[in-house]
Amino acid sequence: MSWPQSVFIDEGVLDLNYVPPSLLHREGELRLLTGLFRFILTTPYEMSQRAIIVGGVGTGKTALAQRFGLNLMAEARRRRVRARYIHVNCRELRGSLFRVLLRAVKALKPGFPDRGFSVDELLETLMRLLDEVDEHLVLCLDEVDALIDAEGSNGLYNLTRVQEERMEGPRRLSLICISKDPEAFRRLDRSTLSTLQRNVIRMSEYDQPQLADIVRSRAELAFRADAIPPEVVDFISELAAAEGGDARYAIDILWRAGKYADIGYSREVQPEHVRRAAATIFPALREEAVRQLSRHELLVLLAVARLFMHSREAHASTGDVERSYRVVCEERGEEPRGHTQFWKYLNQLKGLDAVSIRLQATPRGRTQLISLATVPAEELEREVTRLLERG
């Protein structure tokens, strides 16, 4: 048995833990973060630094910090400066400062025992190990709100003030804190907050063109040439923009859509594969909402489903859908309603998360573009047909 050719050439670049060599539309933030910690390369051990990165889900916070860390260590090796970056997820470690410190200590000394030490002893051990290897450590606390929830101000206070007991010694520890909720830091006491809030990098949501650039860039690395048509890139970026500019969501959709293309022995990813992928992440067809539609609203919805079942395009015009509606009405012995009433039916479908309708300027004026966002056309056709047959 021979395996069919896949649309993929390297799925690894679509892994959510993959750190791209360059961060599209985050170059300014990366320059700022690099500038804040440049002293590690130029005047190591003379100071320490703290920075906060805040932004919504999928805005590139973790990728920014990890790209900075990789760049820092590469440049430190080139300059023969001893510097290290360690990234820990506080939520994964249940918000425990003990677990955070243990993870950092084990990175420096892999055989270190898991038990038998207090938090203060672990912090002292961490600083001693940094002295022994003569390194400056940038410790990144991802999802730091979990640490704040579990430890209050004490955890971050201990980390930020550890250098005060080493006034005459070299500076060894800097911090980066990442959170999607800037309000998390308001739960800190004033003393702790004052040591953190000077350097805040705010990550805005990606817009649709930026998401399209990110999807296109990953697709070029992950897929065979011509396996991802431009309209699929635009479709995925539109879905991700509607989900709050979430780049992670876009990349996940891209990977899942490729999987559906492989399952269907398709040589390219099509809009229907994208809809199937989106449906596995956020099932958007609410049956109770569909049941409340009138018969002709259901017929319009069936027309939308039929149209996209046989189309490789991600969008359709109002005229395309109306022609499909008339065909559906003829099949079922129904008298199609006039254009004005059809237009009202179509706009009623905007109440369904699955159907997207947006205006677009054209040389002749403005037209509505209709798309199925997160429901496969085949599944929608099957469900609407069942409801129509049940009356």
Assigned architecture for domain 287-389: Orthogonal Bundle (1.10)
pLDDT exceeds 70 at position 215? yes
For residue 275, give the 3-state DSSP assignment. helix
C-alpha 200 chain-centroid distance: 21
Q: What is the pTM for the complete model shown? A: 0.78
Q: How confident is the model at residue 3 (pLDDT cuts 50, 70, 90)?
A: low
Q: Average pLDDT of the chain?
A: 89
Q: How many residues does the chain have?
A: 391
DSSP H/E element including 286: none
Q: Which residue(s) pair with 177 in the sheet?
A: 52, 141
Q: What is the pLDDT of residue 1?
A: 45
In which residue ranges of the chain is CATH 1.10.10.10 found? 287-389
Distance CA 232, CA 254 (A): 9
pLDDT digits (tens, 9 = 90+) for 103-121: 999 999 999 998 889 999 9
pLDDT digits (tens, 9 = 90+) for 253-279: 999 999 999 999 999 999 999 999 988
Measuring CA to CA, which residue among 165, 2, 174 is closest to residue 76? Answer: 174
pLDDT digits (tens, 9 = 90+) for 24-37: 999 999 999 999 99
Radius of gyration of the chain from Cα atoms? 27
pLDDT digits (tens, 9 = 90+) for 349-381: 876 666 787 777 666 667 778 888 777 888 888
For residue 138, give the 3-state DSSP assignment. strand
The average pLDDT across 177-204 equals 86
3.40.50.300, 3.90.280.10, 3.20.20.70, 3.30.70.270: CATH of 27-203? 3.40.50.300
CATH of domain 208-281: 1.10.8.60
The average pLDDT across 316-342 equals 92
In which residue ranges of the chain is CATH 1.10.8.60 found? 208-281
Share of the chain above pLDDT 90, in %: 62
In which residue ranges of the chain is CATH 3.40.50.300 found? 27-203
Provide the edge-to-edge strand list for the sheet that holds 83-89: 83-89, 136-142, 173-179, 50-55, 200-203
For residue 150, give the 3-state DSSP assignment. helix
Q: Are 284 and 354 in contact (CB under 8 A)?
A: yes
Distance CA 17, CA 120 (A): 32
